Structure 1
Amino acid sequence: MNMISKNLKHLRQLKRLTQEVLANDLKVTRSRISSYEEGRSAPTIEFLIAVSDYFKLPIDILLRNDLTKGHDASFIEVANQRVLFPITVDSDNEDLIEVVPVKASAGYLAGYDDPEYIEQLQKIKLPFLPTGKHRAFPIKGDSMLPMKSGAYVIGRFVENRLDIVSGRTYVLITKHEGMVYKRVYNHIETNNTLRLVSDNSAYEPYDVVIDEVLELWEFTCSINTQEYDEQELKISSIIQMFTALGVELKALERLM
């Protein structure tokens, strides 16, 4: 079974659709859906466009990526069909999160919607995280003291921006500033902006138009790295820190 066959069947099942319902929605026969899912025939470009529009997934994602690694329907449309990749799981069915290393953070603005960029990021397992899509980001500067430069913040992806809670902290990806970590105040309904405030009073608050915000990740947890020398902070050691944190918190959970 080729990639599009696997993905078409997987997406349909995630949405809990029968072949007949999907066929009706796409205005084709049920036998065509069956033929494509079983790999007995190749879908036409017109059909691929219809599937792309229906599931809000770019065609290259459907053709080149194994979406069966995602175990829920968390395919999220960002801007013009930019897709946050679904939650992936390991062989034990545990959720995995991507870690953006310090050296790669500058390129995140250009690569956040690039399948190849996201796929090459290291992935780790943190079993204590709440449900949702998570990603780990490096923090730079001292604007969010006591969170110091070099720390890592794990954020949960915010799908609906009206759900932003004023006063909480978020990692934001913006068109002009790239990646920033700030305390956010939601002014979308009044003037279509977010007010970004630093915990370090030496930095002035400022507003950003919501349309300039490409991604939002709500703070879930963090890990400080200040006790380590810069030479020690390779991606492998960062992953070891997160793994150790997950083990410690899981053990603590069993004791409570």
Structure 2
Amino acid sequence: MSIFSENIRYLRSKLGVSQQSVADSINITRGRYAKYEDDANSPSPEILVSISRYYKVSIDLLLTVDLKKYSIDDILNLPDNRIVLPIKVGKTGENKIEIVPHKGKMGYLTGYNDPEYIEALQHMSLPFLRNGKYRAFPVEGDSMPPYNDGTYIIGKYIESKDYLKKGKSYMFVTRDGIVYKRFGKLNNSGTFVSSDNVFYEPYEIEWKDILEIWEFAGSVNTKELEIPSNDFEMIKKMFKVLHNDIKSLKDS
């Protein structure tokens, strides 16, 4: 049987209602509805919408996710008919945090809305992260010190750009990659972000390119942080001064 037919059969049994009751509510015959549960026929787009509204479950979930495996209350619906897998909880009540691997980082851009891909990721648990949906992302480069190669940023999923807070840092999953930046301001076309490393200029990410946003909730370092030498700090300060002087010349 298809996932859809299994899902509507399961949802009806959870509600404890008859096929006739569901059919009456969506204005079709019981026999017609029964064919959907038996996978003998597929509903029209209009009927599919009616079934989705009746069970209060998105069409995307009805068609793509085996709902018997999860609690409906814990499934997060995303904009644009996308889904995030339900919040997974271990035996002691802690959230299971999926880990996006360093080597497979770019694969996340195509697998982020694929339930099978997400389920295959390794996971970890942190007892102090319980309320919300969390995921761990690898960090590369030196734009957000002290986080560099070997660090995982744990992000809490936020459902809307309206929840962005100025000065807070976020993992932005875009069509071009995954970046960890500090939020500055937003406008109708996108959001302005910046690096903590002053050598990197702030820039704008357009809304149409943003797939997901995860707010910083913690970090895990897999490499010991190196303490820079005094010479390195002196050179860094010199470059910072030079950078500011060049910027002033450009603005004048």
Deviation at 1:212, TM superposition (A): 1.5
Equivalence for 1:89: 89
Deviation at 1:8, TM superposition (A): 3.3
Select the structure of larger CA radius of gyration. 2
* Structure 1 residues without counterparts, runs of 5 or longer: 229-256
Counterpart residue type for residue 213 of structure 2: L
Deviation at 1:165, TM superposition (A): 1.0
* Structure 2 residues without counterparts, runs of 5 or longer: 226-252
1:218 pairs with 2:211: no
On the 8 A contact 1:78/1:84 being kept in 2, the answer is no
Equivalence for 1:144: 144
Taking the aligned partners of 1:82 and 1:174, their CA distance within structure 2 comes to 15
Provide Cα deviations, 1:2-30, integer angstroms capped at 9, x if missing partner. Answer: 8546633666799x897799656644468
On the 8 A contact 1:109/1:173 being kept in 2, the answer is yes
On the 8 A contact 1:69/1:88 being kept in 2, the answer is no
Taking the aligned partners of 1:215 and 1:3, their CA distance within structure 2 comes to 26
On the 8 A contact 1:70/1:89 being kept in 2, the answer is no
Taking the aligned partners of 2:99 and 2:123, their CA distance within structure 1 comes to 6
Deviation at 1:42, TM superposition (A): 3.6
Deviation at 1:159, TM superposition (A): 0.6
Deviation at 1:195, TM superposition (A): 0.7
Equivalence for 2:182: 183
Instruction: Report the CA distance shift for 1:66/1:92 in structure 2 as closer, same or farther (over 3 A).
Output: farther
1:77 pairs with 2:78: yes
Equivalence for 1:55: 57
Q: Looking at both structures, which has the greater relative contact order when contacts are Cα pairs under 8 Å and sequence separation is at least 6?
A: 1
2:136 counterpart SS class:
strand
Deviation at 1:141, TM superposition (A): 0.6
2:219 counterpart SS class:
strand
Q: How does 1:164-175 map to 2 (within 5 A)?
A: 164-175=164-175
Q: How does 1:11-22 map to 2 (within 5 A)?
A: none
On the 8 A contact 2:94/2:130 being kept in 1, the answer is no
Taking the aligned partners of 2:219 and 2:70, their CA distance within structure 1 comes to 25
Instruction: Report the CA distance shift for 1:139/1:32 in structure 2 as closer, same or farther (over 3 A).
Output: same
Instruction: Report the CA distance shift for 1:123/1:21 in structure 2 as closer, same or farther (over 3 A).
Output: farther
Instruction: Report the CA distance shift for 1:74/1:186 in structure 2 as closer, same or farther (over 3 A).
Output: farther
Taking the aligned partners of 2:145 and 2:155, their CA distance within structure 1 comes to 18
TM-score, length of structure 2 as denominator length = 0.71
Taking the aligned partners of 2:160 and 2:9, their CA distance within structure 1 comes to 27
1:195 counterpart SS class:
strand
Taking the aligned partners of 2:185 and 2:27, their CA distance within structure 1 comes to 41
Equivalence for 2:204: 207
Provide Cα deviations, 1:169-213, integer angstroms capped at 9, x if missing partner. Answer: 1101112x310000012313xx33211110111100001122221
Equivalence for 1:126: 126
TM-score, length of structure 1 as denominator length = 0.70
Deviation at 1:125, TM superposition (A): 2.5
2:43 counterpart SS class:
helix
Deviation at 1:155, TM superposition (A): 0.7
Taking the aligned partners of 2:215 and 2:16, their CA distance within structure 1 comes to 32
Provide Cα deviations, 1:138-187, integer angstroms capped at 9, x if missing partner. Answer: 11111000112220011111112211111111101112x31000001231
Counterpart residue type for residue 55 of structure 1: V
